Amino acid sequence: MNRERVYAEMKEIFGLVPSFFKQIPDATLEHEWKLFKAIEIDDTSIPNKYKELIGIAISAATRCKYCTVFHTEMAKLNGATDKEIEEAVHYAKLSAGWSAYVNGMQVDYEQFKDEVRQACEFAKHRQRKAA
């Protein structure tokens, strides 16, 4: 596939060729486009709305303003509400904050893993009991 064919596919999907794709060298353009379509556009195991909410959370944590705009607009396009977007960002904040804390305090990793597994087993037991 040549650059013109890739650009034609992009125009079919977006109505334009995003400028960031124009900077990709010929040798890797087709590969990058196929990967982008497979993950970002095609249906996958994770519905697109949820992939975009994950993208927003990652963008917030990495502080990438480009990704934040992209994933927020794509999430809205896929039906995400403002409340869902806020929750995804809040989840990223919570996760990043706890990561800083447990890493900074040098919490014992093996003990942490064991406690998480114990808590999950307890929750499973309660769910079975409630059912």
Separation between Cα atoms, residue 104 and residue 86, nearest integer Å:
27
The reported pTM is 0.86
Calpha distance 90→9 (Å, rounded) = 36
Query: Which band of pLDDT confidence, cut at 50, 70 and 90, is reported for residue 6?
Result: very high
Give the residue numbers spanning the domain of 4.
1-42
Chosen domain end from 11, 27, 42: 42
Amino acid of residue 114: D
- The answer, yes or no, to whether residue 1 has pLDDT greater than 80, is no
Closest CA to 34 of 46, 21, 23: 21
Is there a single domain that holds both residue 34 and residue 80?
no
Averaged pLDDT of the chain: 96
Q: How far, in Å, CA of 56 to CA of 73, rounded?
A: 10
Residue 91: the pLDDT is 97
1 and 62 in a single domain? The answer is no
pLDDT of residue 13: 95
32 and 61 share a domain? no
Please report which confidence band the pLDDT of residue 39 belongs to, taking 50, 70 and 90 as the band edges: very high
> Are residue 38 and residue 76 in the same domain, yes or no?
no
Judged by phi (left if over 0) then psi (alpha if -120 to 50, else beta), residue 63 lies in left
State the pLDDT at residue 112: 97
Which tokens go with 126?
A: 């309660």
Residues 25 and 62 in one domain: no
- 26 plus 60 within the same structural domain: no
Q: What is the pLDDT of residues 80-128, one digit of tens each?
A: 999 999 999 999 999 999 999 999 999 999 999 999 999 999 999 999 9
Q: What is the pLDDT of residue 70?
A: 96
pLDDT of residue 108: 97
The whole-angstrom separation of Cα 53 and Cα 24 is: 26
